[in-house]
Amino acid sequence: MKKTSVNIGIIGFGTVGAGTARILLKKRGELESRLGFPLTLKNIADLDTERDRGIKLPPGILINDAQRVLNDPEIDIVVELMGGIHPAKEFILQAIRNGKHVVTANKALLATEGHEIFRAARKSRVDIGFEASVAGSIPIIKVVRESLIGNRIQSIYGIINGTSNYILTKMTEEGLDFTTALREAQALGYAEADPTFDIEGIDSAHKLTILASLSFGIPFSFKKIYTEGITKITPLDIQFASEFGYKIKLLAVAKQEGDTVEVRVHPTMLPKDYLIASVNGVFNAVYIEGDAIGSHLYYGRGAGEMPTGSAVVGDIADIAKNIIATQNTEYRTQTGLIQDTKYRIKKMEDVQTCYYLRFSAFDKPGVLSRISGILGNHNISIKSMIQKGRKLEKAVPVVMMTHEARERDMMRALKEINGLPAVSGKTVYLRVEGGNNQDGRHKG
């Protein structure tokens, strides 16, 4: 019998589950008229069926057993919104074995176990939708795997963690301390169950793993991504960055050069007049350069109940259209994820960027020449410098911007500099994009 509607089962009725259910239920009529057939939310499974989620469900929808969703022959699409690796992975594999299409927002799972999941989906000829896994409401997965298919992607620069962008924005604009800003982001539902993922750059690295795999055809390489978070960023560095004309952002970078791809996540200084530097709060942005398009910038909300629910519903609708059009007999869009590649990942020590350096140095004759001598011996050239205050008995901050240098050289130079008797404590360093004006196209 020909199918005339598509049934959906959600597992996980938390922030994103509630947003997805709200859209499916409230916009049922609009969705049906846009698609030409109804999307029916048959069940939502959550461990806790008592907690108030601020949304009234029709009777019988909320259940406490995910197995009922996974084994229900009437459910066509299983939407995994519980998060974590286990048992989310086992649930998804079970859904796939049962011939169900899957939609997930679970970037941690895809970045670490994606190959097994996509292989299983390919074998069972079912689709996996994962738009919500990167950059929340921004349809960046669709862009990379469908809209830009005619391009060779050259580079991606992303602000793809709403929580850390929210924190850095609050620290920069309102002088809030780190902990207060994090608490606000958690209260707003932006942060992961374990906020360490957000503030240590791990969530950005999960998302970059997915984007880099789609864009460059490399395997999911989460473990190979250089990852550094924002926990060491201080108001002092935010202020110095501003004096030099920069903002500090947690940037995810994937850049192709020859037969290598750089994939890295770290706090980065960006010139204030770059469009991406003005992306504030929970907003995300992804800047992409391709050989046909030149450059594009995608911008929008990167987290939260309704923006993320919107991305999940977009995937559900896409897969549902395919189910109705092909009546489940044809397998559609697994492009981009299981590919051969000519690219290898560049070692972090070979990456070249400009640097911001903050030394705490005793203001004694010859200190600066010792520091600049060591930098010079390691092929690092200074672009500009400021020294704040003059106290003979106390270390004062000396701040430098360098021209492009190799990471390996910089780490060796800093080791020597940190050992100088006139230098107190560890030197703070931040990588800088656009420091040599090499990326002028980012400009607003």
Q: Which residues contact residue 433 at a Cβ distance below 8 angstroms, ignoring those fewer than 6 apart?
A: 157, 251, 253, 268, 269, 270, 353, 354, 439
Range 69-81 burial, b when 16+ CB lie within 10 A, else e = bbebeebbbbbbb
Residue with tokens 């040599």: 436
Site string for ligand NDP, 93-132 (x = CB under 6 A): ------------xxx------------------------x
Task: Give dist(CA 336, CA 146) in Å, integer.
Answer: 9
Query: Which one of 21-29, 215-223, 300-308, 413-421 is the stretch in contact with ligand NDP (CB under 6 A)?
Result: 300-308
Give the bridge partners for 266, in sequence order: 251
Q: Which does 163 bind (CB under 5 to 8 A by kind): ligand HSE, ligand NDP, none?
A: ligand HSE
Binding of residue 195 to ligand NDP (CB under 6 A): no
Closer residue to ligand HSE (CB): 140 or 417? 140
277, amino acid identity:
A
In 224-304, alpha helices (H) = 235-243
* Residue 304 C-beta: closest distance to ligand HSE, Å: 8
Q: Of residues 38, 189, 219, 281, which one binds ligand NDP by CB under 6 A?
A: 189
Q: CB-hemisphere CA count at 13 Å for 408?
A: 6
Q: Tell me the window of 79-87, 143-151, 285-293, 403-411 that interacts with ligand NDP (CB under 6 A).
A: 79-87
DSSP state of 443: B
Rg (C-alpha) for the chain, rounded Å, is: 24
Beta bridge partners of 276: none
By beta-carbon proximity to ligand NDP, the closer residue of 38 and 189 is: 189
Of positions 42, 46, 103, 358, contacts ligand NDP by CB under 6 A: 46
Instruction: Quote the least distance from Cβ 203 to ligand NDP, whole Å.
Output: 7
CA dist., res. 438 & res. 433, Å (int): 8
198 binds ligand NDP, rule: CB under 6 A:
no
Q: Which stretch binds ligand NDP (CB under 6 A): 12-20, 23-31, 169-177, 269-277?
A: 12-20
3-class secondary-structure state, position 438: coil
Among ligand NDP, ligand HSE, none, residue 23 binds (CB under 5-8 Å by kind): none
Which one is catalytic: 89, 100, 107, 207? 207
Give 182 or 277: the residue with its C-beta nearer to ligand HSE: 182
Give me the amino acid identity at 188. L
Q: What does 198 bind: ligand NDP, ligand HSE, none (CB cut-off 5 to 8 Å by kind)? A: ligand HSE
DSSP for 127-140 reads: -EE-GGGSSTTS-H
Q: Contact between 316 and ligand NDP (CB under 6 A)?
A: no
Structure tokens at 332: 């559609």
Catalytic site residue 207?
yes
Q: Where are the beta strands (DSSP E) in 26-121?
A: 39-45, 62-63, 77-80, 101-104
Is residue 308 within 8 Å of residue 105, measured between CB atoms? yes
φ and ψ of 272, to 5 deg? -60, -30
315 vs 439 by CB, closer to ligand HSE: 315
- Alpha carbon distance 16, 193 (integer Å): 12
The yes or no reply on residue 82 touching ligand NDP (CB under 6 A) is yes
Q: Shortest Cβ distance from residue 372 to ligand HSE (Å)?
A: 40
Query: Does 38 engage in binding with ligand NDP (CB under 6 A)?
Result: no
Does 12 help bind ligand NDP (rule: CB under 6 A)?
Answer: yes
| Tokens at 271, concatenated | 């010139």
Residue 45 contact, options ligand NDP, ligand HSE, none, Cβ 5-8 Å cut-off depending on partner type:
ligand NDP
Q: Which residues are near ligand HSE by CB under 6 A?
A: 136, 161-163, 190-192, 198, 203, 302-303
Closest distance to ligand NDP from the beta carbon of 193 (Å): 5
Binding site for ligand NDP (CB under 6 A): 11-17, 45-48, 66, 81-83, 87, 105-107, 132, 136, 189-190, 192-193, 303-304, 308
* Catalytic residue ranges: 207
